[in-house]
Structures are given as C-alpha cells and as structure tokens.
Amino acid sequence: MEVSKKIQSAYEVAKKARENAHAVYSNFFVGSAIGIKGSDEIYPGCNVENISYGATICAERNSILSAVARNGKIELDYVVVVCDTDPVTVPCALCLQVISEFAKPDLPIYLGDLEGIKKELKFSDLLPAPFDTLDC
C-alpha cells in the first residue's frame, strides 16, 4: 500500500519499537507510532506485558500516554500499528476506547506487518460508538 513519507517514517518508528516489546507471556510483539496535531514528532510505543495481565500496557496506549506526558492536551493525527500477523491486527477494544479520548471519528489508523503498511481504516470503522460523556 502506498503511503505518505510521514506515515512511512511512522511505520519505521513503530516497527523499531516493536523490537523492544516485553512480550514474555504472549510472545505477541506489537509496535506503534502516533502523530499529534501541531507537531512533527513521532511517538513510539510497544507492548509491555506483566504476569498480572491486567497490568499489561498495549503499544498504542504506550504511545498515547507518552505524548500526553510530554505535551498535555493532544489531538491524534494518525496511529500506526505493526505486528507480525497475516492479516494485520487492529487495536484492541481497550486501546480504541483510549484513542477515543484524543481522536475524531475520521482519524486514520494504519495497520502494518513486518513488510509494510497493508491497510488504512478510519477510527470510526473500528469503534463506531465509543463510550463517552453522552453515556453517563
């Protein structure tokens, strides 16, 4: 799939971050990279597992939390996820809910494997009805 230089760079960051994943229990290595509006910086993330599975953090949330820690309020520009799967893997429901805090429905989410980006979806394709303040 053809992507912009910006997304190709983010893919490379995510692929490299995947190599740092701590996936000793599942052996499922994930890398991610996000961009935020108003910045050219790419925020990498990888999954970090814990023997207490509830304490595990996914790559996508790792990227987002890093960006928030550095910048405060953010709006996502894109999300890239890289796994060694066929077909490519989408973010889990927990990650999608966290993404919903910082994204508009048309946020592009790029899914890749170790060869490149294979698919682009909109956030709303993956989570059309996120839990939000309207649900409280």
Would you say the C-alpha torsion 43, 46, 51, 52 has a positive or negative sign?
Answer: positive
2, 19, 41, 60: the catalytic one is: 60
- Indicate the burial class of 15 (C-beta count within 10 angstroms; 0-12, 13-18, 19 or more): buried
Rounded-to-integer distance, Cα 86 and Cα 76, Å: 26
Nearest to 42 by CA among 93, 110, 121, 119: 110
- For this structure, is 49 an active site residue? no
Rounded-to-integer distance, Cα 47 and Cα 32, Å: 9
Annotated active-site positions, please?
60
